[in-house]
Amino acid sequence: MEHRPLGRSGLLIAPLVFGGNVFGWTVDEPSAFRLLDRFVDSGLNAIDTADVYSRWVPGNQGGESETIIGNWLKRSPARRDRIVLITKVGAAPGADGKGLSAKSIAAGVEASLKRLRTERIDLYLSHRPDAATPIEETLGAYDALIRAGKVRAVGGSNSTAAGLREALDTAAAKRLPRYEVEQPEYNLYERGRFEGPLRDLCIARGVGVIVYYSLASGFLSGKYRSKADLKGARSGGVEKYLNQRGLRILGALDAVARAHGAKPAEVALAWLIAREGVTAPIASATNADQVDSLVRATQLELSPQEIASLTAASD
């Protein structure tokens, strides 16, 4: 399986990342262990989580996903060197009220390392920009973590093109670690947040791109085609896609899927994998069949005509 570089970090990942946001939410710990085993045994190697996953579930505090992944690693320590472990900091203010201050990052990384039961995080991301903290302070905090061997590489998430450019320029000017990866929202329905200046910048500066909401909250799987289908814990964000454009995209996905004997979700992920500037999409799974589907998506080769038809349907 082809592995792709994450910027200039030296890290290599397979062309699809497992989204750990479901752990502690719609996937319990025993199920998560089975899914992660199946995912890694298939040849895929990157797992994405965050310190706030899954705080939105009643009774949770945040960190549940990291804890489950850490328990999995403790059970199978030999797997640690086979995976690229990605987590994030800064979505919630730290003790000083800031998300990406040096103090918040220093405390956040120790908590994440403890939950993950590991000595290092391979890729540590700023979960969202923090206007209250100078980027030089944030990068300085990351520099200390890299020097201490607690983090291998850093990146951003939800950045604007201007914000990412400032981070890259500051890193170069101050000789600090640069963001090697950006994590934007991007899928066949939501293209505007990445395509354009942000994608151009990532390509020009050699920044890896791992995209989230790859299946538009499950809409691109094709299982939501009317309001009557909006059932289940993860369907809340789907209704906004149920419009003429969304249904046109599903129609294009159906046509390509039939030609390949594939599922619409596999085609939607294959479209992302083939997009210029994208290193890998993130996608989650809640059962073994879905993990197998993720693997098939990485093996699905779309023709230029099929890619063009999908792109045109989403214009």
pLDDT tens-digit series, residues 11-29: 999 999 999 999 999 999 9
The label of the residue with tokens 């005509």 reads 305
Q: How confident is the model at residue 1 (pLDDT cuts 50, 70, 90)?
A: confident
A 10 A CB-CB count for 127 gives 21
Percent of the chain with pLDDT strictly greater than 70:
98
Q: Tell me which CATH code domain 4-219+264-302 carries.
A: 3.20.20.100
Residue 248 and residue 235: Cα distance in Å, rounded?
20
Higher pLDDT, 277 or 96: 277
**Strand, coil or helix: what is 95?**
coil
Catalytic position from the list 53, 142, 189, 224: 53
pLDDT bin (cut points 50, 70, 90) of residue 233 is low
Is 53 a known active-site residue?
yes
- Cα–Cα distances in angstroms (integers) from residue 140 to residues 13, 103, 149, 170, 224, in the given order: 26, 11, 14, 10, 45
Per-residue pLDDT, 12: 98
Q: Which amino acid is residue 195, in one-letter code?
A: E
CB atoms under 10 Å from CB of 55, counted, come to: 17
The pLDDT assigned to 243 comes to 95
pLDDT at residue number 261: 98
Q: What is the pLDDT of residue 25?
A: 96
What's the alpha-carbon Rg for the chain, to the nearest Å?
Answer: 19
Give the predicted TM-score (pTM) of the model. 0.96
Distance from C-alpha of 129 to C-alpha of 127, rounded to nearest angstrom? 7
Q: What is the pLDDT of residues 162-202, one digit of tens each?
A: 999 999 999 999 999 999 999 999 999 999 999 999 999 99
How distant, in Å, are the alpha carbons of 32, 65, 68 from that of 62? 17, 8, 12
Q: pLDDT for 283-307, tens place per residue?
A: 999 999 999 999 999 999 999 999 9
pLDDT at 235 > cutoff 70: no
